[in-house]
Amino acid sequence: MSTICAISTPGGVGGIAVVRISGPEAIDIADRLWLGKSLKQCDSHTAHLGWITDSNGEKLDQGVATIFRGPRSFTGEDTVEFSIHGSLYIQRELLNALLANGCRMAEAGEFTRRAFTSGQIDLAEAEAVADVIASTSRASHRLAVSQMKGDFSQRIEHLRESLLDLASLLELELDFSDQEVEFASRERLMQIAIAVKDTVNTLAGTFHRGQAFRTGIPTAIVGATNVGKSTLLNRLLHDDRAIVSDIHGTTRDTIEDTTEIGGVIFRFIDTAGLRDTSDTIEAMGINRSIQRIRNASIIILVADSTRPETLSEAWHRIEDTLSDRNNASQPYPTLLLLWNKTDINNNQPAITTEESSEIPENKTNSNGKQSQNRYNSDEIEQRIKDFCKINGMELHHAHYSAKTGEGCDIEDVLMKCAATDMLNNSDIIVTNARHYQSLINALDSISRVIDGLNTNIPPEFVAQDLRQTLTSLGEITGTISTPQILSSIFSRFCIGK
């Protein structure tokens, strides 16, 4: 095994840079460049101040050498980390000196790959290292740390262990098939298979939400023209990001930006107003809006409380779009029905079905004009409720003024729509696409096991499906892996990690 080195801090000039060395000769090579207490005599997990020399033996920089003796190190090997000043010249010369003394440059992710190879971490934990580095919010960091601690891996290994004993007994039966003996209780196998299926199905069901927490929750702001979508975007971003105008069809393309609310990144997409139009450019914008609706995790359906008909104008397009999705495996988004412009003329917001019988037919506002706010929402709102119920969509209602900020606590409502309470409990949330695919494969094979037990198919077919389940689960933690999979995973790491 060669000794590798790399800069482990970001490129560029900084106050401090860290150069990591790992391998069988790490301490010897580092000691050749060190002026101070011999690193060979230093205990593990100790730090020492001294001078570092270049390849010519001249003093290069005063720094700190930290010693980690294997196997009590990240890689499981002897490791030295030089903390030096962040000068690009010093970093370059130190690397040159290490290479001249027998090191080679580390490949992308090679330190973490060595940690996996030496058994310090499993594959899922190794991938979590990259996720921790890439985390940009409290939510994504929490999910990555949970996986790095091994919570997900422990759940997977528990599933595998529950199947391994019965799988071995079933394989033993095949060796004695001519004697018609039964070692594995079919009743017990069925109980375990059903329990495994339920757990795998639950884990797989968290993926789309987990991925949204990790990369930012795609939130489409949709509705008819001139209902206040752009004003709402600006309010949520605390910035004049979108042009606001009384002219219908002002927004002709999608406008996207992100903001953090309660430790969660939301990716807001302001869309073109949904309406029939002969304008080619506006029609292109509406088509893009429809695509954003298909891919959203949250849809904010904005309706003008002074023009209740704007709800029906937009909903039929949204309903058609959600009913004609290409990705049937993706869960339906959460729908937030937001009645906007509740500040105008001090009118009450648009009424709900429950309130409709309590409002007089004609109501006069403070200006003596008949209110246009009354809206019997029986038909359209019931249609929305029925659609959400049939398709398992969460539905939330809120009244708000995007112009003034009056009304509901919009950030609190969005947190509820995002189901951020998932982050505050101990349940596992899957965020990695590779893990999700392995879970889907395991779900498919364990379902065949259950079907086979129900139909009394020959045990060799049950055993084959059971082996496939174990293989799919083992691929997650790296118990079963291939060089191609490992190369693909670790190639995405940064050099120095």
**Do 23 and 140 share a structural domain?**
no
Share of the chain above pLDDT 90, in %: 40
pLDDT of the residue at 365: 41
**In what order do the strands lie in the sheet containing 34-35?**
34-35, 46-53, 59-68, 79-86, 14-22, 4-7, 104-105
**Do 351 and 305 share a structural domain?**
yes
Which residues are known binding-site members for K(+)? 226, 245, 247, 250
**Do 393 and 264 share a structural domain?**
yes
**Which region among 15-29, 250-264, 287-301, 332-346 has the lowest average model confidence (pLDDT)?**
250-264
Residue whose pair of structure tokens reads 């309903």 in the numeric block: 319
pLDDT of the residue at 371: 39
| Structural domain contains residue 13 | yes
| Structural domain contains residue 118 | no
**Do 263 and 189 share a structural domain?**
no
**Between 412 and 456, residue with greater pLDDT:** 412
Span 242-265, average pLDDT: 66
Which residues are known binding-site members? 226-231, 245-251, 270-273
Task: For residue 71, say if its preceding peptide bond is cis, omega within 30 degrees of 0.
Answer: yes
Residue whose pair of structure tokens reads 């496939």 in the numeric block: 468
**Do 332 and 234 share a structural domain?**
yes
**Do 298 and 280 share a structural domain?**
yes
pLDDT in tens, 363-421: 334 333 333 444 455 688 888 999 999 988 899 999 999 899 999 999 999 999 988 77
**Between 45 and 466, residue with greater pLDDT:** 45
pLDDT of the residue at 238: 83
Q: Which of 424, 441, 466 is the last residue of a domain?
A: 424
**Amino acid (1-letter code) at residue 351:** I
**Do 249 and 393 share a structural domain?**
yes
Whether 272 shows a pLDDT value over 90: the answer reads: no
**Do 219 and 78 share a structural domain?**
no
**pLDDT-derived band at 438, boundaries 50, 70, 90:** very high
Residue 251 sits in a domain whose CATH number is 3.40.50.300
pLDDT of the residue at 50: 96
Q: Which of 106, 138, 164 is the last residue of a domain?
A: 106
| Structural domain contains residue 460 | yes
pLDDT in tens, 325-361: 655 567 889 999 999 988 875 444 443 433 333 333 3
**Do 32 and 173 share a structural domain?**
no
Residue 446: domain span: 127-206+431-490
**Which region among 173-187, 287-301, 444-458, 463-477 has the lowest average model confidence (pLDDT)?**
173-187
pLDDT in tens, 60-98: 999 999 999 999 999 999 999 999 999 999 999 999 999
| Structural domain contains residue 117 | no
| Structural domain contains residue 121 | no
Which residues are known binding-site members for GTP? 226-231, 245-251, 270-273
Pick from 177, 214, 111, 119: nearest CA to 459: 177
Q: Which of 424, 456, 472 is the last residue of a domain?
A: 424
**Do 172 and 293 share a structural domain?**
no
**Do 191 and 212 share a structural domain?**
no
**Between 243 and 107, residue with greater pLDDT:** 107
| Structural domain contains residue 226 | yes
Residue 191 sits in a domain whose CATH number is 1.20.120.430
**Between 351 and 295, residue with greater pLDDT:** 295
Angle between helices 138-148 and 151-175 (to 10 degrees): 40
Residue-averaged pLDDT of the chain? 82
Whether 296 and 219 have beta carbons less than 8 Å apart is answered as yes
Other Cβ atoms within 10 Å of 240 Cβ, number: 11
Q: How many domains does the chain have?
A: 3
**Between 193 and 175, residue with greater pLDDT:** 193
Whether 433 shows a pLDDT value over 50: the answer reads: yes
Distance separating the N- and C-terminal Cα atoms of the chain: 18
**Do 260 and 397 share a structural domain?**
yes
| Structural domain contains residue 366 | yes
pLDDT of the residue at 378: 62
| Structural domain contains residue 122 | no
In DSSP notation, 311-352 reads HHHHHHHHHHHHHT-S-TTSPPPEEEEEEE-TTGGGPPPPP-
What are the C-alpha distances in Å from 217 to residues 222, 227, 260, 327?
15, 23, 10, 18
Which residues are known binding-site members for Mg(2+)? 230, 251
DSSP 8-state symbol, 400: B
